[in-house]
Amino acid sequence: MAMRPSWFRMRTVLLGVTSAILVAVLIVALGPTVMATEPESSILAPMDPRSDGQGPGLVGSPLGVAVGVILLGALVAAITALVLRLTREG
């Protein structure tokens, strides 16, 4: 089996490092939204994920969650296609 050129390995490493940095930034950016210690309202009212009484047992925004899941799936599919394109042989 032939060795891959060094630029190919560098590009793969760069893609991995960039992905790791992006994930870390997203975790830090979204952290305050998901950290809740009490059921009372917090000082971050606009970012409060709890429902405002739209229905019994309804927490958060189901439509927002559905859109988020669809966007996440599209992002994962795009990243997978990119990785497959960058790592294919010949």
Distance of CA 88 to the CA centre of its chain: 25
Domain that holds residue 89: 61-90
Is residue 43 domain-resident? no
pLDDT in tens, 15-72: 899 999 999 998 888 776 665 566 665 555 555 555 555 555 566 677 888 999 999 9
Highest mean pLDDT among 4-8, 11-15, 54-58, 74-78: 74-78
Q: CA 61 to CA 64: how far, in whole Å?
A: 5
What does pTM read for this prediction?
Answer: 0.38
Task: Tell whether 82 is covered by a domain.
Answer: yes
In a domain, 86, yes or no: yes
* Residue 67 belongs to a domain: yes
Number of domains, the chain: 1
Judge whether 2 lies within some domain: no
